A and B are shown apart, each in its own frame.
Chain A
């Protein structure tokens, strides 16, 4: 079912020259961390927000809030409670 549904993301994607292209996990994670750290250094932790997933598990939501509070350093996190 889900595994074969059209449109599933099969690879990490990164943006180059305005376009998304396929990337390895290592490259995508390196880019993700670089992007997060760049904004954190320039604007501080309050410049971040996270929308966490109300279709995903409790464990994911627990880790998402822990990530924002410990790795980023902000309480700017919400889940889909308001739509």
Chain B
């Protein structure tokens, strides 16, 4: 026994020394940046003898689908380097989800935050801002005169101070199969009742009225969110946080009832809880489903060579029709502005870096770039842009249709997940799946969500 213990210890000792030796060696030899996605662009010519400095931009423009967006970022980077003496940007590309859920959080906790980084407004940026990790860019926006140019900075604002800027916006509404509509003599519904009749007509024809893939709960919630914004008003989601409205209010529950009603009537693809978001799109692409409730980001898929290539020129887009007894503006549209760029609080300590951030904002957030984002990448503007310029630039028929829908919108509101506390978000996700799976009633679901909302409201105070 003693002998074996002794030998075991010897083995561990030798092994640990060997491992320790290897560890430090590799750490020393490792170059500073070996990331595949890391590219360093050449520094611009320096007009003056400015002290050279480097800044990191954490972006999420990796992969084939984001190459247009990446090209635009590179142009901004080059332009900014040309304007700020001594500046070299280091581009660090990371997958969006990895950046959001792991990398950035770790960096925030350890304090080594990239100077400029891709971020989500709420709850992420708000949490970081409250912890003092993000740069207050309000003075920069005021200096550049663009503070009022954004359609909505709500998810990026804490106590009246702006901490980040949305790169673009995305609206959520109904994509429909134009070819099918023409064949069957169907029209875009003008009222909510007409919409329900339309759903019934398609169902009777043996087609799936609405594509569905509800394994991830945010997918069906796009519909529910739109429904409650019609039945209870587009500003109701904010009122849940202040206690001015409750999930159990009759007009909110009405939205859950409608959603459940549609499930029961078979307006969605059967077995939706086991299907992915991508499956939902496939149902629409291959013509099984006639309509699909999705974000405008899906518009890029209806192009030659893309997944929805079969439907080029055959897809239309309309906003969820007005409820007869709805509350508030019935033409309102959900426009999400939750993804964009934030800046490290550390930047404030270095005047050179601060100047670089200012130039970066100026070059990235302007009318020209916003229209380019719309035309080249199908991303709606997050800034107010001249409509005539948009009309002149947009050539894609679907994009034109989407832009046309936007012109009829008086009020836009943010998606619920950028407004309600994270706990409530999780609970809504659970309850909507229970509702679809027939495990709860609209009333009970609303009660469960309200309970979590009240707990969250109480802890926020």
Partners in one complex: no
Where the two chains meet, the residues of A that have a C-beta atom closer than 8 Å to any C-beta of B are none
Where the two chains meet, the residues of B that have a C-beta atom closer than 8 Å to any C-beta of A are none
